Every structure is written in C-alpha cells, then in structure tokens.
Amino acid sequence: MQVLFKNAMLYRDGVFLRGDVLASDGRLVFPVPGGVFPEAVVEDRSVAVFPGFADVHVHFREPGFSYKETIRTGSLAAARGGYTAVCPMPNLDPVPHDLDTLQQELSIIERDAVIRVIPYGAITRDEKGTVLADLEGMAPYVCGFSDDGHGVQDGAVMLRAMERAAAMGKPIAAHCEENDLLFGGYIHDGEYARVHGHRGICPESEWIPIARDAVLAGRSGCAYHVCHVSSAESVEIIRRAKARGVDITCETGPHYLVLNDGMLEEEGRFKMNPPIRAERDRLALLEGLKDGTVDMIATDHAPHSAEEKSRGLAGSAMGVVGLETAFPVLYTELVKPGIIELSRLVKLMSDNPRRRFGLAGEGDFCVWDLDAEYTVDPAEFLSMGRATPFEGRRVNGRCLLTVCAGREVFADASLKEGK
C-alpha cells in the first residue's frame, strides 16, 4: 500500500518534524520526493507518525491457556495498538524455565506472531520461588527474567538470580508482592473497599519487596526493573534508589495513571493485580512520570475469558486487557489536558522500554489519527480478552497503520477503503 499523509507530525529523535510523509509498502519516506502517485492521500486529519511502541509486560497465554488469548490474537491486538515489540510473561503451562520449555513458546511465536515477540524466561522453576530456572540456557532467547504473577518471596533466591542475571547482562523484571501481607485482598485497601465490604490489598505488600530488591540490586549490580508500580511509596523508594545509583527502572500501566479507587464499579473489568489505588497514588505516579522516576508505560495486557471476568470484584480473575486502548487513553487523559507532552508519551511507550530491554525497532513505525474521536468498544478488539476498565470511554486517537520491520501488520479499514 502507498499512502501519502499530508502535513503530518513525524517523531524523530525526541522531537517532532512536520511535513508530508509517504508510507510506501512498509517504508517511511520523508521528505517525499516529487513525482509520487500514491494509492491514497490522507490530508484532512491530524496525523502523527511515531516509532513502533514497545510493551515490556503482556500476557499472550500460549502455551497453556489459548482459550484466553493466543500469540496470534495477542500480537494482532498489539499491532492495532501501534506496538511492534512486546514481551510476554512466563506464567504459562509449561512455564518457560529451561531451553525445552522455552522452545515450546518460541515455536509458537515463530509460527504465529505478526510483530516482534521477545519473551521472558522465568526466574524460578515453575515460578514457585524456590529453585532457580536455567537462566544461562535461556539468556540468548529472552529479553530478561521474571516470575510475573508471583512475587519471589525469598530474598536469598532473588539475590542469586540477580547475580546470575548481572553476569549475563540481562534484566530482572520483578512482580513485587509479599504474600504474607495479602490477607485475601483483591482490590485496593482503601475507601471503596471499606464502604463496599471488600477485602483490600495494602500498598505495603508491594513496596516492602521493592525496598528489599532495591538493596539487593545495588549489591548485585543487576539491571533491575519493577513491574506495574501502583503505589506512592513504591515511586518514592525507586526515586531514592536511583539517586543512590542503583540500576533500577520501573513501569506503570495506563489504568494506574488514569483511574483511582473512587472510580471502581462492581465488575470484573476493574480488577487486576496490583489494584487501582487511591488518588494520592495516581498523583504520585504522574509525578514519577514527570521527573523520570517512572521510566516506561507497560499495559500488563492480561486477557481472561468472558466467564472468568464475569464474577464481580470478589470472584473474577485478576487482569485487564490494554494493548488496544493504551495510546488513545493516555493521549486523551494525559497529553490533551497538558499533563505530559506528546514527545514524552512516545519516549515512555517506545524509546525507553526499547533501550532498557534491548528491543530492536529497525523499520518499525505507527501512524495515528490524533483527532479521531470514538467510544472504546471491546467488541471491536482483536484481542480475545474484552475486560477493560476503559469500556465506554470517549477517547481520541485511532491507529491507521502499523509497520514492523518493513511489513504492514495493521491497517485501519478507513485506509484500505481510501477514506
């Protein structure tokens, strides 16, 4: 397909240039030479061209749980969200904890992925937290190591993992959760839980292990990354560790940046782990984004079946989908009101995750119509997961085209119809 985007914004090295941009069979041409006769011209829309987004925290559920999502559907959903590189977590069956088990996941990726899918290997065997996985065997094929879905409870196990990961120059991405402090909670331990009689998850269950790991990361020299940061205290601990020179980065998700527990409803689509927290936590995360403490945005795209998400806040599975709404939600809620600049959002969704996890992006880009306004409708998702707290929201920003390594992996119907 050859499409000419007239007077578009083009992101290059942290700044925006303006001019006509040609997408020609997966190649980006700028400036556009004379004598070009494209199949379609887009001229009356507010078009922005970004590098492909990268999400270092997704769940694609294969092997093991293909009724929730597959590598095919997950990567198609990612492409529709402007992503060209994603890192799926290893809470699978079998858990990728050595070359044999990892190979099962890699073969499906090789066969079905439409974008760059670079998995994590587990930190411990079966993510049980006791015996270390074959980190060295998996290292050449993974973006890093994680036991996501479970916190590594034993500090000595984590320290050993960090030392070995450091020796190979691979990051550890930690799901920080102290099991002893959960007390059967499933939403934030705050006002909403008290008023509605729910059991709460306290922020300490997250930040105590972050504080432990920040010390161990400093001691081991490991490239340490904190997954889905949700609480104000966590942000402050990470800020201080960075100031001490610890090699620590972190991510947060769109739902933690846009929602607070006052916005919860009695539906499974508002349930994930860690939970949506209080307004003070949300504001602290925004501060962290602005001052660089929060390095990147990851969706924690965690699809489950409709039935698994139909049992209200108490009974539903933990996890919401996010790949197809991340950019529109963040553009609408953070960039349009002037909370962060568009170039910052692109860094948080592309440059920073790629640099930290060494994800290639050559020949990748995505094209957005920033003014397109619509209501988030999960029925339109390419993901098999439909549970999102953003259902029914008005948002701006529609992905028109995603190109990965020079291949068109998503094109919006309006482009194909030449509208």
The phi and psi torsions of 155 (rounded to 5 degrees) equal -60, -35
Angle at Cα 240 formed by Cα 236 and Cα 246, nearest 5°?
130
Residue 388 is a binding residue for ligand DOR (CB under 6 A): no
* Count, residues near ligand DOR per rule CB under 6 A: 10
Whichever of 272 and 409 has its CB closer to ligand DOR, that residue is 272
Given the residues 20, 295, 300, 369, select the one marked as catalytic. Answer: 300
Q: Which helix (H) or strand (E) holds 3?
A: strand 2-12
Residues in 8-67 that interact with ligand DOR by CB under 6 A: 59
Residue 272 is a binding residue for ligand DOR (CB under 6 A): yes
Whichever of 220 and 316 has its CB closer to ligand DOR, that residue is 316
Whichever of 59 and 164 has its CB closer to ligand DOR, that residue is 59
Which residues, 6 or more positions from 195, have their beta carbon under 8 angstroms from its beta carbon?
A: none
Structure tokens at 77: 């959903």
Give the C-alpha separation, 297 to 97, whole Å.
26
Q: From the list 123, 166, 302, 400, which residue makes contact with ligand DOR (rule: CB under 6 A)?
A: 302
Give the DSSP letter of residue 57: E
351 is known as an active-site residue: no
Q: From the list 63, 96, 149, 151, which residue makes contact with ligand DOR (rule: CB under 6 A)?
A: 149
DSSP helix/strand/coil, 346: helix
Residue 273 is a binding residue for ligand DOR (CB under 6 A): yes
In angstroms, give the least distance from the CB of 260 to ligand DOR: 17
Residue 318 is a binding residue for ligand DOR (CB under 6 A): yes
In angstroms, give the least distance from the CB of 228 to ligand DOR: 7
In angstroms, give the least distance from the CB of 59 to ligand DOR: 5
Residue of minimal CB distance from ligand DOR?
Answer: 319
- 3-state SS of 157-217 is HHHHHHHHHHHHCCCEEECCCCHHHCCCCCEECCHHHHHHCCCEECCHHHHHHHHHHHHHH
Residue 91 is a binding residue for ligand DOR (CB under 6 A): yes
Structure tokens at 317: 């599975």
Whichever of 302 and 334 has its CB closer to ligand DOR, that residue is 302
Check if the beta carbon of residue 264 is closer than 8 Å to that of residue 276.
yes
In angstroms, give the least distance from the CB of 317 to ligand DOR: 6
In angstroms, give the least distance from the CB of 272 to ligand DOR: 4
Q: How many helices (H) and strands (E) in the chain? A: 14, 19
Residues in 172-191 that interact with ligand DOR by CB under 6 A: 175
Neighbouring CB atoms inside 10 A of 331's CB total: 18
Whichever of 151 and 353 has its CB closer to ligand DOR, that residue is 151
Whichever of 193 and 370 has its CB closer to ligand DOR, that residue is 193
Angle at Cα 371 formed by Cα 365 and Cα 58, nearest 5°?
45
Angle at Cα 27 formed by Cα 21 and Cα 31, nearest 5°?
30
Q: From the list 319, 328, 361, 397, which residue makes contact with ligand DOR (rule: CB under 6 A)?
A: 319
In angstroms, give the least distance from the CB of 77 to ligand DOR: 15
Task: Please identify every residue annotated as catalytic.
Answer: 300
Q: Which residues bind ligand DOR (CB under 6 A)?
A: 59, 91, 148-149, 175, 272-273, 302, 318-319
